[in-house]
Amino acid sequence: MSVAPRPHWLFGDQLGPHFLDPRHGGPDAQAPVVMVEARSVLRRRRFHRAKAHLVLSAMRHRAAELGDRVTYVKAETYAEGLEQALGRAGRGRRMTVCHPTSRAALDFVRALGGDGNANGNGNASARGDVGVDVLPARGFLVSHDDFAGWAGRGGGRSLRLEGFYRWVRERHGLLMDGGEPAGGRWNLDHDNREPPPRGRDTLDVEGPWQPHEDAVDDEVRRDLDRWERAGDIAFVGRDGPRRFPATRREALSALRRFVTHRLPDFGRYEDAMLAADPVMSHSLLSAPLNLGLLDPAECVERAEHAYRAGDAPLNSVEGFVRQIAGWREYVWHLYWHFGEDYRHRNVLRHTAPLPEWFLELDADAVTANCLSTVLAQVRDTGWTHHIPRLMVLGSRALQDGWDPAAVTDWFHRCFVDGYDWVMLPNVVGMSQYADGGLMTTKPYTSGGAYLHRMSDLCGACAYRPTDRTGEHACPYTAGYWSFLHRHRTRLAANPRTARAVHGLDRLTDLPALLDEAASRANTPP
């Protein structure tokens, strides 16, 4: 007697075909699919409207693709939606779900019933006889068990990206020539730090792939308008037109366009910024990757194929592979490895609230051209590349001593590719140094000189990157020295920041700098 397949629950960031592949511990073959659009998710946080639009559009497009196989429920909460869906699919049957991407979602799934393992040995709960078996995570190159094995080999003492990245490359044979890295070097960062070309407003590359909105997008926008008018849900930022893939087909088109037309120029200007060209040669693939529309393996394999075929230089391909197979995997696993207490790390004891102009994405309230430009990009698109995130937005928060938990929440809400697993390590560890060095060896912040070298944002600014005090003092230059002074004892003991701290002794204008910084504390920079 054949056993009917268990229904499989798809979260809104598990939308690619690999989440329904029954092989290698996947869901049952031809399992009926359950999807729940829970309004409570949008009530919990004030998300960027473009992000809400993208996620709902992607979910509804996926449901349309699955047709009669899916039960798609719009409900107030996940619990109510599952009750409705399983009432139609057959109450009392266990269901499966791939390991969720947030700790809160995993806790919710496990609380529904059973022991939460993939073997299905738990007992169904009393909550509507729902029982859920959690299958292994998908959408990543490295399993939880394999990461634990790698981390355990060092006794938990060294969890640096470089060692992890090399291990992933070797384990998966990425950009390897036998037992050696392609080109003889593991890390080509030195080749990928060029400033933008002077005298140019944009890079001379073809633009990124652009979607065409359809009836599903129109429906989503009408729903968002209705919820806002009713005062039911509030958003931040602007919505439209949609800039990121919402379907598997769109995501593959975006990947092909990047690899064919944009990857060759990606590497050398990877860390550069141009006011009129916020995308530069970046892939814009983080959003479809984090929705599950693309699998990281296919992204890095296509990039490597371009290198082997002579269509892209090694520095560009290595830089892209490092982002996907290195940093993205690293952040995912550190999210689970460090545990829930990591969320509350705050070794610098920064407690200042986020200012209103930052919360509202009010770029017009800001005088500093770099910050105003980047904040406007977030307001209008819900996206910037990694250097504006780290060295403009994150650096401002770090220098001004904003509460790292609030900063993490802001990045989670305001970026289309922001999820709890993405932003918690990126912000707490990398951007705000709130973990005291568990993840990185130093705080990432700088004065205006770095921004001037790596962008064209300083030329049109009312401030001067070389000025520490006075009417034209750059808030990043003044903020950098103020930050070093505030944390002098801690940073003097760090070999990577000790030299900079000693530079404080050469600043004859330090008292004036600190006084001016204090007087500007509550005003937009």
- Per-residue pLDDT reduced to its tens digit, 296-311: 999 999 999 999 999 9
The domains of the chain, with CATH numbers, are 8-135 (3.40.50.620), 144-208+243-338 (1.25.40.80), 344-520 (1.10.579.10)
Residue with tokens 């005090």: 469
Residues whose CB is less than 8 angstroms from the CB of residue 283 and which lie 6 or more positions away in sequence, other chains included = 208, 254, 255, 258, 262, 263, 266, 320
State the Cα–Cα distance between residues 419 and 413, nearest whole angstrom.
8
What the block records as the tokens of 347 is: 């070794």
State the Cα–Cα distance between residues 235 and 257, nearest whole angstrom.
31
The letter for the amino acid at 109 is V
Chain-centroid distance, C-alpha 441: 21
Helix (H, G, I), strand (E, B), or coil: what is residue 464?
Answer: strand
The reported pLDDT for the residue numbered 467 is: 95
- Cα–Cα–Cα angle for 364, 370, 372, nearest 5°? 15
What the block records as the tokens of 369 is: 């051209």
Segment of 91-95, 121-125, 351-355 carrying the highest mean pLDDT? 351-355
Q: Tell me: the pLDDT tens digits for 447-485?
A: 999 999 999 999 999 999 999 999 999 999 999 999 999
Task: Indicate if the pLDDT at residue 259 is higher than 90.
Answer: yes
Among 95, 96, 35, smallest CA distance to 63 is for: 35
The reported pLDDT for the residue numbered 34 is: 95
Task: Indicate if the pLDDT at residue 128 is higher than 90.
Answer: no
Task: Indicate if the pLDDT at residue 124 is higher than 80.
Answer: no
Residues whose CB is less than 8 angstroms from the CB of residue 193 and which lie 6 or more positions away in sequence, other chains included = 270, 271
Q: Are 337 and 427 in contact (CB under 8 A)?
A: no
Q: Tell me: the pLDDT tens digits for 329-353?
A: 999 999 999 999 999 999 999 999 9
For the chain, give the number of residues: 525
Among 445, 442, 327, 474, smallest CA distance to 387 is for: 445
Helix (H, G, I), strand (E, B), or coil: what is residue 71?
Answer: strand
The letter for the amino acid at 80 is E
The reported pLDDT for the residue numbered 60 is: 98
Residues whose CB is less than 8 angstroms from the CB of residue 222 and which lie 6 or more positions away in sequence, other chains included = none
State the Cα–Cα distance between residues 144 and 151, nearest whole angstrom.
10
Confidence category of residue 520, pLDDT binned at 50, 70, 90: confident
State the Cα–Cα distance between residues 86 and 139, nearest whole angstrom.
26
Q: Tell me: the pLDDT tens digits for 475-498?
A: 999 999 999 999 999 999 999 999
Burial class for 269, CB neighbours closer than 10 Å (0-12, 13-18, 19+): buried
Task: Indicate if the pLDDT at residue 198 is higher than 50.
Answer: yes
State the Cα–Cα distance between residues 135 and 99, nearest whole angstrom.
6
What the block records as the tokens of 406 is: 């609030």
What the block records as the tokens of 25 is: 């511990």
The letter for the amino acid at 430 is M
Task: Indicate if the pLDDT at residue 115 is higher than 60.
Answer: no
- Rounded to the nearest integer, the mean pLDDT of the chain is 92
Task: Indicate if the pLDDT at residue 247 is higher than 70.
Answer: yes
> Which helix (H) or strand (E) is 501 found in, with range?
helix 498-502
Percentage of residues in the chain with pLDDT exceeding 90?
Answer: 86
